[in-house]
Amino acid sequence: MAPSSYEAFTDRNWEQEVVGSPLPVLVHFCADWCVPCRTVGRSLQSLAESYIGRMRMGGLDVEANAATTERYKIQGLPTLLWIDGGQVRERRVGLMAHEDLKQFLDDRLNGASFSA
C-alpha cells in the first residue's frame, strides 16, 4: 500500500497530519491484538487509494500512542473518528463490514451532516 493512501498516525505527527489537514481525515484507532481492528484495517487499506485527493485515512496504534488515545477518550476498539477542520465530527466504535465502511465514507464526502 502506498504511504500516501493509508497513513500511520502517531502522537508525534497528530497535530500536523490530522488536526492541521486541509482534507477530512478518517482515523482508525486500533491495536495489533484486536481481531476486529485487523478486519477494519484491511478494508480501509483496500479502499484508501480510491479516496486520495478527497480525504485522508490511516491508523493509530493505541498502545504506542497513549497521549492521543487518552485525548480522544478511546475506550473500545476499533474506533473510527471522522475529523474535519481539526474537529471530531463523528465517532464509530466496533466492527463495520467493508460495504458499510465505503457507504460511511461516501456519505460524509457527499455532504451528509453528522455529529460526534
Q: Note if 30 is an active site residue.
A: no
pLDDT band at 111 (very low <50, low <70, confident <90, very high): confident
Tens digit of each residue's pLDDT (9 = 90 or more) over 26-46: 999 999 999 999 999 999 999
Candidates 25, 26, 34, 81; catalytic one = 34
- Look at residue 95 and give its three-state secondary structure: coil
**Domain at 14-94: CATH code:** 3.40.30.10
Tens digit of each residue's pLDDT (9 = 90 or more) over 46-87: 999 999 999 999 999 999 999 999 999 999 999 999 999 999
Length of the chain: 116
- Domain ranges (residues) in the chain: 14-94
Residues 28 and 37 sit within 8 Å (Cβ to Cβ): yes
Name beta bridge partners: 88.
83
Candidates 26, 37, 57, 101; catalytic one = 37
What's the pLDDT at 27?
A: 98
- Look at residue 19 and give its three-state secondary structure: helix
Residue 79 DSSP symbol: E
For residue 12, pLDDT over 50 is answered with yes
Residues 6+ apart with CB under 8 A from 54: 23, 109
